[in-house]
Amino acid sequence: MKSLSAYVKKGLFYKSVVEDGSDIIFIVNYEGTILYHNRSVKETLGYKASGLVGRNFFDYLPSHLITHFRKEFIKSTRRAYNKSIEFQFICRDKSYKYLEFNSVNLKQKEGIDGLILDCRDISQRKKDAEELLRAQKAKEQFLANISHEIRTPINGIAGMASLLSQNPSREEQRTYLNAIKSAADNLKVIINDILDLASIESGKLQLEKIGFNLNDLLHSLIDTFGVQASEKGIKLSHSLAKDANKIFIGDPVRLNQILINLISNAIKFTHAGRIKVDVKADMIKGNNYNLRFDISDTGIGVPKDKLQTIFESFSQADASVTRKYGGTGLGLTIVKQLVELQGGSINVVSKENEGSTFTFTLPYVIGKKEFVSDARMIKPRNLTQLKRASILLVEDNDINRLYASSILKMWGCHFETAENGVVALEKIRNNAFDAILMDIQMPVMDGFETTKAIRKGDPNKSQVPIIALTANATQKDFEKCLAAGMNDCITKPFTQEDLLKTLTKYLGAKLKKKNQPSQEGKQNNTEFDLSYLIKASDNNQEFIQEIINTFLDSMPKTIEEIQTQLQLKNWEHLAKVVHKIKPSITLMGIHHLKDKIALLEHETRTNLDQQTINGLATEISQSLLKVIRSLKAYA
């Protein structure tokens, strides 16, 4: 058996350390001529054994680095040792590798004008350092962007609130309030992006498996973005393949979030032309399908060199894009992670100034046609169904309590308020509630303790739906609410739609039954139809009532004016009066009068058949009086 000492004495380690080592070893004279190199030049640089012997080291350096490298080389000839000198060396395939050498000066040891250069490949280290620097700059840019994005709406809210305190006119109040709402909505989007990304990256985002129909989901999205697209003169359309118009089992909320991000991006970066959403389905096997979504636009496009980075965190295609269009730079990151979290993939094809197409696929299992996901599908026909609901609002913050109370009051709910859990328990003992809206962080007794006390209390009241109101938006917080006995969770800041959706999820069927008699009476009314008003105002009852009141106030005068002009036989003025009320007839859904009013206007302007005019004017006036009586009963 060979001894280690004999191995060392005979210098046998030379082959392992120098000749076959991973570092590249060069021996060069002071002029840079290569007198020796080991075999590592083949693996690292691509040259054959002894292929560089006799060549000059400087001939393999990029021309712009020679001056700098020569200075370091001369320093090495004057020192016993030199270390960590970085340079680039031209490989056999004409590419460059980053190397770093430590030198040993043979003059000091052997009296020879030469250097041993121990070179190490640092290409990966340089690449990692450049990537780290790029990521750091991207993060710094993101922080600057996010600071700007958050400060802008906050400044807007503060500024508008200040103006509201200076006794503005009613029109100015409406303008300021709309600006506050818009700024608050923007702020909510930014915060939700950050929270969503944190939740996804921590692995705490959980996906639902419920039934949904793509046709309903797409129609809702097109309606939502239709106004924005129309305002920019962009045509927004969608197509749904027959095989994709089925009930699928998955997470419609996350799919909706993906599509909202991609469609809103398309609208943001498209100034003319069209945006189209296409959905196709490929059956994999049995009930397993792959759905393919294509969102194409004719927008500004993405530069070719940026296509690989637009899905990265804190990144947009260009800093100038952020300055011009705003945004956190997180939207596409969230989209990509949500797609991959559901087992799908996403890619983009784009050409500058021509447009982009984002394509993603997601796997789904087909469900039963009669499948209904859960109580979330039960929605009231209109907000009057909430008039008999009895709600307990448990909230310690004055502003939050005022906001939620104002919404409930506007909906006509009966409600009580409590500023902490102790007061809430007392009110529950003395009243029966249909639902409880429960804040989490409160003095005296918090929402968790209060919920546990309710669940352990009176059996007749212990099963009341309890909905958390919390500013803590992570999956862990949501799970904690459920563990305490709550039924659901609404994240602050919440919208009227959020509250309505959650209340109807748990109370929809009950309230529908409770309010059935009064609703049937209203639904059977044939004199008017408020469905257009309800849709146009997003079921804003205060707005609808204001329109009804205006109609009730102005229409009797109009009827009187019709009769006056009829007696005077002033057909020109009668035509103007009739023309003026046409928008009100459409707005109030008085469908049975539309054709008659159009005919009366035509007759007064052209044929002048007095008998026809008298008959139509009298019939319209009488019908309008009936509408007024019905509307008064409705209101």
Residue 217 scores a pLDDT above 70: yes
Q: What is the mean pLDDT of residues 239-263?
A: 88
Give mean pLDDT, residues 351-378: 71
Helix (H) or strand (E) holding 604: helix 591-605
pLDDT at 2 over 50: yes
Quote the pLDDT of residue 609: 75
Q: How confident is the model at residue 163 (pLDDT cuts 50, 70, 90)?
A: confident
- Give the rounded percent of residues in the chain with a pLDDT score beyond 90: 23
Gap between the Cα atoms of 32 and 23, Å rounded: 19
The pLDDT of residue 438 is 94
Q: Which residues pair with 294 in a beta bridge?
A: 278, 359
3 or 560: which carries more pLDDT confidence? 560
Lowest mean pLDDT among 107-111, 141-145, 515-519, 605-609: 515-519
- 478 Cβ contact list (under 8 Å, min separation 6): 489
How far is 111 from 553, CA to CA, in rounded Å?
112
Long-range CB pairs of 67-75, under 8 A, 24+ apart, other chains included: 73/32, 73/115
Percent of the chain with pLDDT over 70: 81
Residue with tokens 């992670």: 337
What pLDDT does 348 receive? 93
CA nearest 207: which of 255, 262, 245, 263? Answer: 255
What class is the 127-201 domain? mainly alpha
- pLDDT interval class at 496 (50, 70, 90): confident
Say if residues 590 and 582 touch (Cβ distance below 8 Å). Answer: no
CATH number of 21-121: 3.30.450.20
Helix axes 447-456, 475-483, angle to 10 degrees: 30
- Which tokens go with 599? 């005919």
More confident residue, 314 or 591: 591
- Beta bridge partners, 437, equal 393, 467
Torsion region of 197: left, alpha or beta (phi above 0 gives left; psi -120 to 50 gives alpha):
alpha
Burial class of residue 220, CB neighbours in 10 A (0-12, 13-18, 19+): exposed
Least confident range of 1-10, 90-99, 616-625: 1-10
The CA distance from 33 to 54, in Å, is: 6
- Residue 449's Cβ-count burial label (10 Å; 0-12, 13-18, 19+) is middle
Whether the per-residue pLDDT at 274 is higher than 90: the answer is yes
pLDDT at 111: 85
What is the C-alpha end-to-end distance of the chain, expressed in Å?
107
Lowest mean pLDDT among 225-234, 277-286, 524-533: 524-533
- The residue among 493, 409, 470 whose CA lies nearest residue 180 is 493
Distance in angstroms (rounded) separating the CA atoms of residues 411 and 499: 11
H-state helical runs in 61-169: 66-77, 106-110, 123-164
How far is residue 444's CA from residue 87's CA, in Å, rounded to a whole number?
68
Q: Higher-confidence residue: 7 or 59?
A: 59
pLDDT at 451: 94
CA gap 38, 51 in Å, rounded = 10
For 100, counting Cβ atoms within 10 Å of its Cβ (0-12 exposed, 13-18 middle, 19+ buried), the class is: middle
pLDDT of the residue at 589: 84
Exposed (0-12), middle (13-18) or buried (19+): which is 6, by Cβ within 10 Å?
Answer: exposed
Q: What are the backbone dihedrals phi and psi of residue 68, each rounded to the nearest 5 degrees, phi first?
A: -65, -45
Mean pLDDT calculated for residue range 600-605: 82
pLDDT, tens digit, 9 for 90 and up, residues 303-320: 887 777 787 754 444 444
Provide the pLDDT confidence category of residue 604 given band limits of 50, 70 and 90: confident
Which structure tokens are listed for 48? 């054959």
Quote the pTM value.
0.42
Which of residues 623 and 220 earns the better pLDDT score? 623
Average pLDDT over residues 254-275: 89
List the beta bridge partners of residue 295: 277, 358
Superfamily of domain 210-366: Histidine kinase-like ATPase, C-terminal domain (3.30.565.10)
For the chain, the domains span 21-121, 127-201, 210-366, 380-499, 531-634
Residue 348: count other Cβ atoms within 10 Å of its Cβ: 18
User: What are φ and ψ of residue 23, in 5° steps?
Assistant: -75, 150
DSSP characters over 335-394: HHHHHHHTT-EEEEEEETTTEEEEEEEEEEEE--TT---SGGG---SSGGGGGG-EEEEE
Number of C-beta neighbours around residue 124 at 10 A: 9
**Residue 415: pLDDT over 80:** yes
The mean per-residue pLDDT over the stretch 86-112 comes to 89
- Please state the rounded mean pLDDT for residues 436-453: 91
Range picked from 78-92, 181-195, 530-544 for highest mean pLDDT: 78-92
- Mean pLDDT of the region 340-361: 92
408, pLDDT greater than 80: yes
Helix (H) or strand (E) holding 476: helix 475-483
What CATH number should be reported for the domain whose range is 380-499? 3.40.50.2300
Give, for 454, the enclosing helix (H) or strand (E).
helix 447-456
Residue 534 token pair: 């309800």
DSSP designation for 493: S
Give the pLDDT score at 145.
Answer: 59
Architecture of domain 531-634: Up-down Bundle (1.20)
* Banded pLDDT at 371 (limits 50, 70, 90): very low
Closest to 85 (Cα-Cα) out of 77, 93, 214: 77
In whole angstroms, give the CA distance from residue 289 to residue 365: 6
Give the model's confidence band at 48: pLDDT under 50 very low, under 70 low, under 90 confident, else very high: confident
Q: What pLDDT band is residue 532 in, cutting at 50, 70 and 90?
A: confident
- Quick count: other Cβ atoms within 10 Å of Cβ 561? 17
What Rg value do the Cα atoms of the chain yield, rounded? Answer: 37
Q: Which residues contact 586 (CB under 8 A, 6 or more apart)?
A: 532, 594
Res 448 pLDDT > 90 = yes
Q: What is the pLDDT of residue 319?
A: 46
- Output the average pLDDT for the chain: 80
Average pLDDT over residues 441-448: 88
Q: Kind and range of the H or E element at 117?
A: strand 114-121
Residues 236, 225: contact at Cβ < 8 Å? yes
Q: Do the two domains 127-201 and 210-366 of this chain adopt the same fold?
A: no
Q: How many CB atoms lie within 10 A of CB 409?
A: 12
Pull the structure tokens for residue 193. Answer: 């992006």
Q: Residue 526: its pLDDT value, please?
A: 65
For 6-20, 184-198, 440-454, which range has the lowest pLDDT when averaged over its residues? 6-20
